[in-house]
Amino acid sequence: MNLDLLSDRFLQRATRAFRCSDGSPLPLGPSLQSAGVNFSLFSRNATRVWLLLYETAEAREPCSIVQLDPRRNRTGDIWHIRVEGVGRGLAYAFRVDGPCAPEQGHRFAPERVLIDPYATALYAPPNWTFDEACGDRAQSQVRSLVTAPQFDWEGDRPLRLPWSETVIYETHVRGLTWHPSSRVNAPGTYRGVIDKIPYFKELGITAIEFLPLQEFNPDELTRVNPMSGERLTNYWGYSTIAFFAPHQGFGTRRYPGCQVDEFKEMVKALHQAGIEVLLDVVFNHTAEGDETGPTFSFRGLDNSIYYLLEDDKRSYKNYSGCGNTVNCNHPVVINFILECLRYWVVEMHVDGFRFDLASILSRDRSGRLIPNPPLLEAISEDPILRQTKLIAEAWDAGGAYLVGRFPGDGWSEWNGVYRDDVRRYWRGDQGMAGAFAQRLTGSADLYEHSGRSAVHSINFVTCHDGFTLNDLVSYEQKHNWANGESNRDGCDANFSANYGVEGPTDDPQIQRIRTRQMKNFLATLLLSRGVPMLLGGDEFCRTQRGNNNAYCQDNEVSWFDWRLVEQNRAMLEFTRGLLAFRARHQVVSRDEFYRPQDLSWFNACGWMPEWHSDAAIGCHFHCAMGGERQLCMLFNPTSHAVNFVLPHPPENDVWLKAIDTGATPPFDICAPGAEIPLFEQDSLLVWDKTLVVLLSDRDPRLK
């Protein structure tokens, strides 16, 4: 391509001249200044850069094209320019020229319109596409927007709730309120979340972890549902295109860029309710995919720096399973990620992050796992980020599984071992009692050796990636045919059970055992040391109809059907009761691990369990402090009732039955003061697939 002709063609399309000056290399990205905007863009290997300015965000053609002079508008590897007389709401983009030499790792494409990686908001028309067959027309629909930091936070500050008081609720901004039953003013948006705050408060959670909301393209998929013909979408959003920008589709679209203000409104409202905001962030790959994917930002700016490349430089290392892997431990990329995280904390008031496929963040430029990754250390030691909540999904698609061994101080981890062991124990798998005991008591076997505490374990039984709780006890196989991948996608090792029928059933016996098992999972989760994470909707038995990988299902498979709140009110009340019980009895939520003298385990006969053969086990917690009452927990995962010999309560106390998952409401979880005393009982019959919690209290006959 004749680059001079290309440049001339660009300039002929310009219709307006702006007064420009050299500008400053720092800060990177767009920065509002008095009577103008400074633009700063990193590209080490670029030879020419053009800044495209638009009259409106919707305009298809730029009103001005400014070619940057490398003598005046370049400092080191940074291209910069200041444009006078513009401000908030300005739509802009870049074109960048340089070597197109894939064998050297360079993929510059000056005909492509590029998004600013530091853009704090994007504008895109509905149903925009990444289809390469459209040439540059696809990317040219997307604009970077200049936003202003001004917002009335009304004194909002980080909540900094202790990990020991934290209960996380994982949800999706759109799916939470898009269903007609949600009855909110702005369904599927940040404002819709605000309308659900009273529900969250009544439930008792303290933090919301949102699935990705950094800008992504929901319409990037080209497949259809083979069962309905419906176009599939990138619903979950694990395919980021702009890391500083909140997703436009979760805003009301009142004006271009309104999503920034509306996100801030949501955070402020949640903080006022005492609820922290955690973001699921995806720094392991981008939506540009493999070498056949679209070019919209990083690939066209400096492909060889932003991505891990194979030895031939033409193709990408793929530890993410999504076509490419970000070169996370390159100094330039480290700086980008740190600045992005700081932006979300300082400007957007976010309280913490869950890092998707975080093991990738510990890979060096050759893709090897390294013991002290610069990025992870930089995040955990950063003076702004170190006091935020940092959560790692400690595995990746390249085979790394670092649960219990994730490098870097200050990181908590999604404990996938907890999920699997708890599922297998309650399913009735043999030899799981010892592993279950470890998970209940904080997973010291995974974390204590490195000097970490119980709250480094983020405990969960279900999450977005897998079965819902209802489906976990209703399906033995995944049912992902609607995803258009011949049911090959999604995890096969679900450790689930259906108890006689695959899917929904009217059989009362099967319904009874499924309900009991859901209560067992919820009770185990909220009685375990470590930080519990609930999958949103599990508290009222939400189902995905057996789909354990609903990443592309923007429909009733994924949306919260709020009618289930009334249909399954008993499960919701049970969950609320558990959360309140956990808050009252801090013995189960303290940071530290239990000491040997803090508790004693026993089997049904009252003896020390044979961990590889006994299934029904009990635990007496002696470590009541500050006036707390002692607890005794009894677990029976077998298919028959078990009579437990009970330990003695403290002198002058009796055991009160507070929780019994085998009982009908309201006796499944008793309100404070309504617990059932076990007078002069040396033993207790615990029904099949049942968990019982006893609470010590002064014998009322002695009061």
Higher pLDDT, 34 or 445: 445
| pLDDT-above-70 percentage for the chain | 96
Residue 9: DSSP 8-state: H
Q: What is the mean pLDDT of the chain?
A: 95
Average pLDDT score over residue span 27-37? 95
* Per-residue confidence (pLDDT) for residue 13, from 0 to 100: 54
Strands (E), 495-628: 531-535, 599-603, 617-621
State which H helix or E strand residue 65 sits in: strand 64-67
Q: Is residue 447's pLDDT more than 60?
A: yes
- Tell whether the model's pLDDT for residue 591 goes beyond 50: yes
Does residue 686 register a pLDDT over 50?
yes
**End-to-end Cα separation, the chain, in angstroms:** 93
- The per-residue pLDDT for range 179-197, each reduced to its tens digit, is 999 999 999 999 999 999 9
Under 8 Å between Cβ of 656 and 671: no
Task: Break the chain into its structural domains and give their ranges.
Answer: 3-145, 163-587, 595-702
Among 200-204, 282-286, 316-320, 409-413, which is the least confidently predicted range?
409-413
Topology alike, domains 3-145 and 595-702? yes
Torsion angles phi and psi, residue 78, rounded to 5: -110, 130
Strands (E), 325-396: 352-355, 389-392
CATH topology of domain 163-587: TIM Barrel (3.20.20)
Residue 577: per-residue pLDDT: 98
Determine which helix (DSSP H) or strand (DSSP E) holds 471, and give its type and residue range: helix 469-472
> What is the per-residue pLDDT for 467?
98
Domain 3-145 of CATH type 3.40.430.10? no
On the question of pLDDT at 107 being above 70, the answer is: yes
- Name the band, by pLDDT with cuts 50, 70 and 90, for residue 137: low
Q: What is the pLDDT of residue 141?
A: 84
Convert the pLDDT of each residue in 57-96 to its tens digit: 999 899 999 999 999 999 999 999 999 999 999 999 999 9
* Structure confidence at residue 625 as a pLDDT band (50, 70, 90): low
> Considering the entire predicted model, what is its pTM?
0.96
Position 133 scores a pLDDT of 41
Confidence at residue 409, expressed as pLDDT on a 0 to 100 scale: 80
pLDDT digits (tens, 9 = 90+) for 422-432: 999 999 999 99
Helix (H, G, I), strand (E, B) or coil at 190: helix
Question: 595-702, what's its fold?
Answer: Immunoglobulin-like (2.60.40)
Which pLDDT value is given to residue 139?
A: 57
Span 93-109, average pLDDT: 97
Q: Three-state SS string across 388-445, please?
A: CEEEECCECCCCCECCCCCCCCCCEEECHHHHHHHHHHHHCCCCCHHHHHHHHCCCHH
- CB-CB contact of 107 with 98 (8 Å): no
The 10s digit of each residue's pLDDT in 213-253 is 999 999 999 999 999 999 999 999 999 999 999 999 999 99
Helices (H) and strands (E) in the chain, counts: 16, 30
Say what the pLDDT of residue 1 is: 40
Helices (H), 109-239: 136-139, 173-177, 190-195, 197-203
CA 308 – CA 292 distance, rounded (Å): 16
Catalytic residue set: 356, 393
Mean pLDDT across 609-615:
96
**Percent of the chain clearing pLDDT 90 (strictly above):** 92
CA distance 189 to 200: 16
Task: Give the pLDDT of residue 16.
Answer: 78
Residue 5: what pLDDT?
Answer: 43
Residue 174 makes CB contacts below 8 A (sequence gap 6+) with 188, 189, 235, 249, 250, 554
Q: Which of helix, strand or coil describes residue 696?
A: strand
Cα distance between residue 369 and residue 359, in whole Å? 8
Residue 3 clears pLDDT 50, i.e. is over it: no
